[in-house]
Amino acid sequence: MPTTLDMLAVRLLAQGGKSFWLPPRSSQQAAEVDWTFYYIYYVSLFFFLLIVTLMVVFVIRYRRRPGQEALPSRHHNLPLELLWTGVPIILVATMFWFGFSGFMDFAYAPQNAYEIRVIGQKWKWQFEYPNGYIDQDLHVPVDRAVSLTLESNDVIHSLFIPALRLKRDAVPGRYTTAWFKADTVGTYPILCAEYCGTAHSDMLARLVVHERGGFERWLEQASNLLATMSPVDAGERLYQLKGCMQCHSLDGTAGIGPTFKDLYGRTVALRSGEIVTADDNYIRQSILDPQGQITAGFEGVMPLVQFSDDEIRAMIAFIRSISAAGAEPAGEGAAGGEAPEPAGSAPGQPATEPGAGAQPAIGRAIGGSGAQLPGTTWIGSADATNLVTDAEGSATPDASRDRG
């Protein structure tokens, strides 16, 4: 049980914060919430003990005994009743005020806050960084204000970060916002707090607070797939990130565009009547000039998407890896990848995700997760089973290992 010393500690220590009642924390805002929590706690404890003590004393002192009747006393006492109405009014007014001012600290983000979008979906969180990179974990720099804009693709979810004492609903059809400034480096759990169905309790992620400079390094590595992954893996990731998956399937079914399955090395009949072989140059040309060589039976609706030369090479490697004709060493390289982290390894995650079948219409490029694409090596996949995480826990993202 916490003591009065704990209350002092809450005030004096900017870090730590783990107690019998509250989990570790990582922000000044959280420290103020904790202070308010303990203020209410001690006031409540006082009144609880007062009532129970009076109750016990009366029951013992005035217990029914033979020959002894109730003693006369007044039925009401205005000064006493005003006192026990007035004192609680003053106390709850102070509670209201502390709670309100603490809440306002969370309400409006500063102008220069780093902006991250949060997308809730059955049953995973996605965090989109300003450069368009999407990750399953929330990575942030230490001591920098971060603002979150939340949305949901299906039902209501609620982003809950106990270490920040922060919770905000992700509501479909509208945006909600929140912000925080983490001040302690570490890894902390993120949970879904609004009931959302089968795997509600598995909708977990991590908050990774990076030391100074660490966040920028992480983001660059994570975003720069080519430097951190094998070409096949990077190509697969690009397939999702760049939106290819919206039109080109991997299972042989024709979508808005032709499937990528077994594309490499096949002969393709073009709308112009030409017959070509889908080789490296064909793929390169199709990416750089989408309207140039349109496959017969399809509309020329593919937009021009920016790809660098390295990215094009990765795409070619990826398409080769899923084509019978192209299954050369590249595919093996992917299977025996350097970072054998199982995809979507959050414990209890169902093997087949019911939500994964129906991709949202608004087209989050990375809608699918590891569970949808087995064998993918994810950067920072969720493993947040430990709610009360060691504050000194590794702040190094998995990306650094993947880099190998």
Partner 1 sequence: MSDLTTHTGHTPQAEPVANYLSHARGLRSWLFTLDHKRIGVMYLVSVLASFLLGGILALLVRTELLTPQHTVMGADTYNIVFTLHGATMIFLFIIPGVPGSIGNFVLPMMLGAKDVAFPRLNLASYYMWLIGAVFTLIAIAMGGVDTGWTFYTPYSTTTNSAVIPVVVGVFIIGFSSIFTGINFIVSIHKLRAPGMGWFNMPLMLWALYATSIIQVLATPVLGITLLLLIAERVLQVGIFTPAYGGDPVLFQHFFWFYSHPAVYIMILPAFGIISEIIPVFSRKHIFGYKAIAYSSIAISVLSFLVWGHHMFVSGQSPLANAIFSALTFAVAIPSAVKVFNWTATMYKGSISLATPMVYALGFLFLFAIGGLTGLFLGTLSVNVHLTDTYFVVAHFHYVMFGGTVMAFLAAIHYWWPKMFGRMYNQLAGQIGALLIFVGFNATFFPQFVMGSQGLPRRYYNYPEEFEIFNVFSTLGAYLTAVGFLLVAGMLIHSLFRGRPAPANPWGAETLEWKTPSPPTPENFESPPTAGDPYDYSRLAYEPEIGGYVEVPARTGEVA
182 binds partner 1 (CB under 8 A): no
First and final C-alpha spacing in the chain: 47
Stretch touching partner 1 by CB under 8 A, among 9-17, 149-157, 334-342, 395-403: 149-157
State the Cα torsion 206-137-16-98 to the nearest 10°: -100
- Tell me the number of residues near partner 1 by CB under 8 A: 90
On the CB side of 400, how many CA atoms lie within 13 Å of its CA? 10
> Which residue in 160, 218, 260, 282 binds partner 1 (CB under 8 A)?
160
**Which residues, numbered 367-386, are part of the site for partner 1 (CB under 8 A)?**
385-386
Handedness of CA 182, 104, 109, 174 (dihedral sign): positive
Q: Write out the H or E segment, with its range, that includes residue 10.
A: helix 4-12
Can you tell me the distance from the alpha carbon of 387 to that of 204, in angstroms, rounded to the nearest whole number? 10
63 binds partner 1 (CB under 8 A): yes
Residue 62 β-bridge partners: none
- DSSP conformation letters of 358-403: S--TT--TT-S-TTTSTTPPPTT------SS--TTS--S-HHHHHT
State the Cα torsion 286-289-295-297 to the nearest 10°: 130
193 binds partner 1 (CB under 8 A): yes
> Which residue in 62, 110, 216, 363 binds partner 1 (CB under 8 A)?
62
Task: Quote the least distance from Cβ 20 to partner 1, whole Å.
Answer: 7
Nearer to partner 1, 54 or 335 (CB): 54
> Which residue in 4, 73, 253, 352 binds partner 1 (CB under 8 A)?
73
The two structure tokens encoding residue 309: 């030369």
305 binds partner 1 (CB under 8 A): no
Q: Is 295 helix (H, G, I), strand (E, B) or coil?
A: strand
> Which residue in 113, 145, 171, 250 binds partner 1 (CB under 8 A)?
171
37 binds partner 1 (CB under 8 A): yes
- DSSP conformation letters of 240-291: HHTTGGGT--SSS---SS---TT-TT-EEEBTTS-EEE--HHHHHHHHH-TT
**Residue 24 near residue 389, CB atoms below 8 Å:** yes
> Which residue in 174, 271, 401, 403 binds partner 1 (CB under 8 A)?
174
Nearer to partner 1, 197 or 213 (CB): 197
Q: Write out the H or E segment, with its range, that includes residue 186.
A: strand 186-192
Largest CA distance in the chain: 115
Stretch touching partner 1 by CB under 8 A, among 77-85, 227-235, 291-299, 366-374: 77-85
Task: Quote the least distance from Cβ 71 to partner 1, whole Å.
Answer: 4
> Which residue in 3, 198, 272, 394 binds partner 1 (CB under 8 A)?
198
Stretch touching partner 1 by CB under 8 A, among 157-165, 319-327, 366-374, 394-402: 157-165
**Which residues, numbered 202-231, are part of the site for partner 1 (CB under 8 A)?**
202
Task: Quote the least distance from Cβ 16 to partner 1, whole Å.
Answer: 15
Nearer to partner 1, 108 or 289 (CB): 108
Site string for partner 1, 227-266 (x = CB under 8 A): ----------------------------------------
**Which residues, numbered 81-140, are part of the site for partner 1 (CB under 8 A)?**
81, 84-85, 88-89, 92-93, 95-96, 98-107
Of 246, 311, 265, 257, whose CA–CA distance to 284 is shortest?
311
> Which residue in 5, 59, 351, 362 binds partner 1 (CB under 8 A)?
59
74 binds partner 1 (CB under 8 A): yes
296 binds partner 1 (CB under 8 A): no
DSSP state of 159: E
42 binds partner 1 (CB under 8 A): no
Task: Quote the least distance from Cβ 105 to partner 1, whole Å.
Answer: 7
**Residue 240 near residue 365, CB atoms below 8 Å:** yes
> Which residue in 134, 192, 208, 225 binds partner 1 (CB under 8 A)?
192
**Which residues, numbered 322-361, are part of the site for partner 1 (CB under 8 A)?**
347-348
Nearer to partner 1, 39 or 114 (CB): 39
**Which residues, numbered 5-24, are part of the site for partner 1 (CB under 8 A)?**
20-23
The two structure tokens encoding residue 247: 């039109």
Can you tell me the distance from the alpha carbon of 317 to that of 284, in angstroms, rounded to the nearest whole number? 11
